[in-house]
Chain A
């Protein structure tokens, strides 16, 4: 799909805009509609769009899997540790009042941190979901079959070899069961 000039140009404009909008939703969340869940999904959609247009391998290159796992865990920990911080400051768990000089600023800081944690986790989980499902050998095989049918270039040969072995195994199972 990356050969199509229209898609290439539009994506160059769209992807940063989507990311920026996600950040707006994220940081607007403490005073108005918005928040980490929505922002995370929007942010992830930029990565998904990128991978859909430029292929899975380049998509993975932009956001590698080990970094993604780190981001998923870091988001949850950021949320949890914000609560723990208020424990150490002498208040109940997740009581943001003590995080700032006044209760109001404390609530502001707390919500900002917690929502950032939520956004980070949601975005990276969504990206992880997309890559895990799309990068599954059976799926890659189906996709390459479809593309070969249309006369397009098949994806990376490494995945192809793997998927062949896998399908063979599946076929064997199938015939074995029907006997």
Chain B
């Protein structure tokens, strides 16, 4: 059964979804979701080990049709690194989901909620695993469509979830359609959809105008999907008004998967050189990245709603990932992978902790957490550590990301950009300080509702916090894995 693990990874949540939709009774659907995401996490951990030991890509031919005829699932160093992030966070978010969903979603919709939940996880795992350009689109849409439904389920508590979900749907579909146009142009040029085969055949027609157009469409579509500045407007309302469990899952994984797909397509198919355009494309992505880092951080400082604040900070953090990609170097790509991994952990911790408060207090604003640091110290400390990691304080995972990011920029002599990255990270201190001020330095108002915390509330968030600190102190294995992932795209055949 070991050789079937790549497909089981995607298949378990995918087939779990219709089963979950049919289950009746308290917590049945949740139990199934927990079981399946747990299994997916276990499988992805085993796959990581198998891939590491094999030292080469594990390839699975669906339906027994070998590449490039059939669709293949590829577990190489890059996908082996991203899979545990997605499935691990899905697992932890599912643990927390039970309480959050009970508080926020009508009991009649629980079965359908977990069906959509499993589908969106299956879609994300599929995007990472598959080695077929069109299959990526299909999984992209599976995860996006169920995500729209999940965001809209926040309507029971906050009706603004509906227009937020609609705008997310419009922009998400435009992004996905741009991606398909790009893939269509590539298929016209090469007659293949397998990513490896595509890379080989594209080398012959690389300098045609159609191939540049294809790159532009694919990149633009994925920029929209990963919410790169200035295409990020769908993200903040969607994360802020979605049910808390959904915010946690999506903030931690959805955009990261798009970053991964972008790296896979840009570097894995078009190659590092882009036929002489590398400098121009790199400069574009760097500019967007650093602008996004500043725009997101500044907008976050002005926000008073915690969910919106951290959604804005996600835009800044995605900007840092874009900077890593835009550096167009081995170190830059490794930094992007490191930050992708670490940011998923931090945002998972933050949104799970906020969700635990939101399930009791409704909206989590600066006002509603006044004095909360004394009332619910463990949950608030999780938010604090997550915030410090976002700034990049040493001993947290965020520090490692920033170190490698700055190193990548200095390697290429981008002194100005390295300075700007440092400044924008330091600016993040402002919004973290706002939270410290509200939660610890102010007294809890007399009429404010009492917040409680029990291990059920904070354990999921603290799992993520421990991971954040753990990978901040023992970063060696992660850095090695990220360099191995970057080596798949740079230095290998392109």
**Contact between A and B in the complex (any CB pair below 8 Å):** yes
Residues of A in contact with B (beta carbons under 8 Å apart): 69-70, 72-74, 76-77, 80-81, 83-84, 87, 91-97
In the bound complex, CA of A70 to CA of B24 (Å):
12
Contact partners of B38 in chain A: CB under 8 A: none
Minimum CB–CB distance for A93 against chain B, Å: 4
Cβ proximity bits B60-87 to A, threshold 8 Å, 1 near / 0 not: 1111100000000000000000000000
Minimum CB–CB distance for A174 against chain B, Å: 13
In the bound complex, CA of A141 to CA of B264 (Å):
51
Minimum CB–CB distance for B467 against chain A, Å: 31
B21 contacts A73, CB within 8 Å? yes
Among B14, B15, B18, B60, which residue has the most Cβ atoms of chain A within 10 A?
B18
Residue of B at shortest CB range from A81? B15
A93 contacts B11, CB within 8 Å? yes
Provide 20 A-B residue pairs closer than 8 Å at the C-beta atoms, listed in order of the A residue.
A70-B22, A72-B18, A72-B21, A73-B18, A73-B21, A73-B22, A76-B17, A77-B15, A80-B11, A81-B15, A87-B1, A91-B64, A92-B7, A92-B61, A92-B63, A93-B7, A93-B11, A93-B60, A94-B63, A96-B63
Kindly state whether residue B19 has any CB partner on chain A within 8 Å: yes
Kindly state whether residue B4 has any CB partner on chain A within 8 Å: yes
Contact partners of A87 in chain B: CB under 8 A: 1, 4, 7
Which of B14, B21, B61, B63 is within 8 Å of A69, CB to CB?
B21
In the bound complex, CA of A84 to CA of B4 (Å):
10
With A73-B22, A76-B15, A77-B19 already in contact, 14 other A-B pairs whose C-beta atoms are closer than 8 Å: A73-B18, A73-B19, A77-B18, A81-B15, A84-B15, A87-B1, A91-B64, A92-B4, A92-B61, A93-B63, A94-B63, A95-B63, A95-B64, A97-B64
Minimum CB–CB distance for B8 against chain A, Å: 8
In the bound complex, CA of A83 to CA of B4 (Å):
12
A84 contacts B11, CB within 8 Å? yes
In the bound complex, CA of A26 to CA of B18 (Å):
23
B62 contacts A80, CB within 8 Å? no
In the bound complex, CA of A37 to CA of B155 (Å):
32
In the bound complex, CA of A92 to CA of B18 (Å):
22
Contact partners of A74 in chain B: CB under 8 A: 18
B4 contacts A93, CB within 8 Å? yes
Contact partners of B64 in chain A: CB under 8 A: 91-92, 95, 97
Contact partners of B11 in chain A: CB under 8 A: 80, 83-84, 93
Residue of B at shortest CB range from A173? B159
Minimum CB–CB distance for A12 against chain B, Å: 34
> Interface SS of chain B: helix, strand, loop or mixed?
helix
Minimum CB–CB distance for A164 against chain B, Å: 20
Contact partners of B22 in chain A: CB under 8 A: 69-70, 73
In the bound complex, CA of A91 to CA of B61 (Å):
10
| CB contact list, B19-57 vs A, under 8 A | 19, 21-22
Minimum CB–CB distance for B365 against chain A, Å: 22
Contact partners of A95 in chain B: CB under 8 A: 63-64
In the bound complex, CA of A84 to CA of B21 (Å):
20
In the bound complex, CA of A77 to CA of B64 (Å):
21
In the bound complex, CA of A74 to CA of B7 (Å):
21
Among B1, B11, B60, which residue has the most Cβ atoms of chain A within 10 A?
B11
Residue of B at shortest CB range from A88? B1
Please list the 4 inter-chain residue pairs (A to B) with the smallest Cβ-Cβ separation, ordered nearest first: A73-B18, A95-B64, A94-B63, A80-B15
Contact partners of A73 in chain B: CB under 8 A: 18-19, 21-22
Residue of A at shortest CB range from B1? A87
In the bound complex, CA of A103 to CA of B182 (Å):
37
Which of A69, A81, A93 is within 8 Å of B62, CB to CB?
A93
Contact partners of A81 in chain B: CB under 8 A: 15
Contact partners of B1 in chain A: CB under 8 A: 87
Residue of B at shortest CB range from A93? B7
Cβ proximity bits B273-288 to A, threshold 8 Å, 1 near / 0 not: 0000000000000000
Residue of B at shortest CB range from A92? B64
Minimum CB–CB distance for B371 against chain A, Å: 33
In the bound complex, CA of A97 to CA of B11 (Å):
20
Contact partners of A70 in chain B: CB under 8 A: 22
A76 contacts B18, CB within 8 Å? yes
Contact partners of B62 in chain A: CB under 8 A: 92-94
Contact partners of A77 in chain B: CB under 8 A: 15, 18-19
In the bound complex, CA of A94 to CA of B8 (Å):
12
B15 contacts A92, CB within 8 Å? no
Minimum CB–CB distance for A27 against chain B, Å: 21
In the bound complex, CA of A73 to CA of B15 (Å):
9
In the bound complex, CA of A93 to CA of B1 (Å):
11
Contact partners of A96 in chain B: CB under 8 A: 63
Minimum CB–CB distance for A95 against chain B, Å: 4
In the bound complex, CA of A91 to CA of B65 (Å):
11
In the bound complex, CA of A81 to CA of B4 (Å):
15
In the bound complex, CA of A87 to CA of B4 (Å):
8
In the bound complex, CA of A84 to CA of B7 (Å):
10
In the bound complex, CA of A93 to CA of B135 (Å):
16
In the bound complex, CA of A92 to CA of B5 (Å):
11
Minimum CB–CB distance for A140 against chain B, Å: 20
In the bound complex, CA of A87 to CA of B61 (Å):
12
Minimum CB–CB distance for A51 against chain B, Å: 23
Minimum CB–CB distance for B130 against chain A, Å: 13
In the bound complex, CA of A91 to CA of B19 (Å):
24
In the bound complex, CA of A61 to CA of B119 (Å):
30
A92 contacts B21, CB within 8 Å? no
Minimum CB–CB distance for A144 against chain B, Å: 25
Residue of A at shortest CB range from B18? A73
